[in-house]
Structure 1
Amino acid sequence: MTADALPPPRNRWSGPDLWRQKLGNYTVEDVLSLPDDAPRVELRDGVMIVVPSPTFGHQKISGLLWNWLRQHSPQGMEASFATGVMVGVDQTFEPDVMLLSAETINYDSHYSTADPVILVVEVVSRSTRRRDRLEKPADYADAGIPHYWRIEQNPVHVYAYDLVDGRYELAADSAEELIVTKPFDIRLRVRDITP
């Protein structure tokens, strides 16, 4: 009887290195090279932030909105969810839903703001309130992403912002029907994305 050698262990996620976290010197390359078993992380000023697992309601809103955008977006635009966007060498985000220019679809896990990211959407959860309401909009605006939507839960309410002179301005909001003309003519019944 012979013993077969076990394959070498895969590189497994053990969390970010505490010293590198303290120094804030993680880069996009570090995020892109994380092992498959790593959780979703965002990079803010070189510090890795583990993205909390979404609740059922959060996931349902994201999935319904992705499906709505997929069905209603004009030719040349593609909806995506659970993919990241790189906004700098030491900054990445994991928006809940994105609308991209179809010509730049690369089937990777992250897109660059050099790729036409048209719209990013964040569904606000208890654990992400501050980041989704304050930090991410400022960073998305700095990256030049033309449209940002924030969706509050309980009750579902959609806020649509357009980038104007480097800052987001509220274009429309509704708990019933969101009507905007950018990035395309949209009449989104909020009940269509409500769990």
Structure 2
Amino acid sequence: MTAEPLPATASSWPEPPRDGYTVDDLFTLPDLPPHTELIDGSLVFVSPQRDFHALTVEVLLMGLRRTAPEHLRVRREMTIVLSNRTAPEPDVLVLKAEAVTGRRQTRYEAKDVVLAVEVVSPDSEERDRDTKPHKYAQAGIPHFWRVEMTGEKDLPVVYVYELDAVTRTYVVTGIHHDHLKVGVPFTIDIDLTEIDHL
């Protein structure tokens, strides 16, 4: 008995270019899902997020906006161009005010970003813990926070990193449970337990 070959069907997935996608492709390909990222020339689609993720992002946004100095701006889920083949979308970012050029803006350059924040999700653990911090450091972003869910109450814990300018790698400067209080990139004081009141 011989199996019949399956009929060829046209795939609805775009065929990637030989050298991978570029930033221009990311912003011109039709019908990409929201929050698609570009990592090393590959498109990365984001899975639906847990409630923890959304609430943690809100707590961080409120805290950062409350204390950010006038020369900085706080954004959520905006693309940062790190290179022609890498453009991730951190959950929260702080950037120089002069980098904001208008309401139709879709991306920022790495040189304008002061802080990138990733809230780790089950589908993005490796990217958020390894790939993205490495890429952010290589691009010269001075501060990085990684946020994880921890404990019986599923509260956020924030791992705070600063860039070592010589090695272009991040060095952990603190691990914050319940309360995040740091002096750089500006004075920040966030009650992480506020997640319970949202």
SS in 2 for 1:183: coil
- Report runs of 4+ in structure 1 exceeding 6 Å deviation: none
Shift of 1:36: 6.1
Distance 1:92-1:157 versus aligned 2 partners, 3 A rule: same
Alignment check: 8 A CA contact 2:155 2:195 kept = no
Structure 2: gaps of 5 or more residues: 1-11
Q: 2:52 aligns with which of 44, 53, 57?
A: 57
1:156 matches 2:153:
no
Query: 2:182 & 2:63 partners in 1: Cα distance?
Result: 15
1:77 matches 2:72:
yes
RMSD: 1.7
SS in 2 for 1:150: strand
Alignment check: 8 A CA contact 1:65 1:193 kept = no
Alpha-carbon displacement from aligned partner over 1:67-89 (angstroms, at most 9, x marks no partner) = 22111111111110021111000
Distance 1:66-1:162 versus aligned 2 partners, 3 A rule: same
Distance 1:124-1:99 versus aligned 2 partners, 3 A rule: same
SS in 2 for 1:70: helix
Alignment check: 8 A CA contact 2:115 2:143 kept = yes
Amino acid at match of 2:147: I
Aligned to 1:111: 108
Structure 1: gaps of 5 or more residues: 1-13
Alignment check: 8 A CA contact 1:61 1:193 kept = yes
Aligned to 1:10: none
1:186 matches 2:188:
yes
SS in 1 for 2:155: coil
Aligned to 1:173: 175
TM-score (structure 2 length as normaliser): 0.83
Query: 2:158 & 2:120 partners in 1: Cα distance?
Result: 10
Q: 2:36 aligns with which of 32, 41, 47?
A: 41
1:96 matches 2:91:
yes
TM-score (structure 1 length as normaliser): 0.84
Q: 2:63 aligns with which of 64, 68, 74?
A: 68
Alignment check: 8 A CA contact 1:24 1:47 kept = no
Q: Which moved more, 1:64-73 or 1:160-169?
A: 64-73
Query: 1:81 & 1:42 partners in 2: Cα distance?
Result: 14
Aligned to 1:145: 141
How many residues were matched structurally?
Answer: 178
1:122 matches 2:124:
no
Distance 1:29-1:60 versus aligned 2 partners, 3 A rule: same
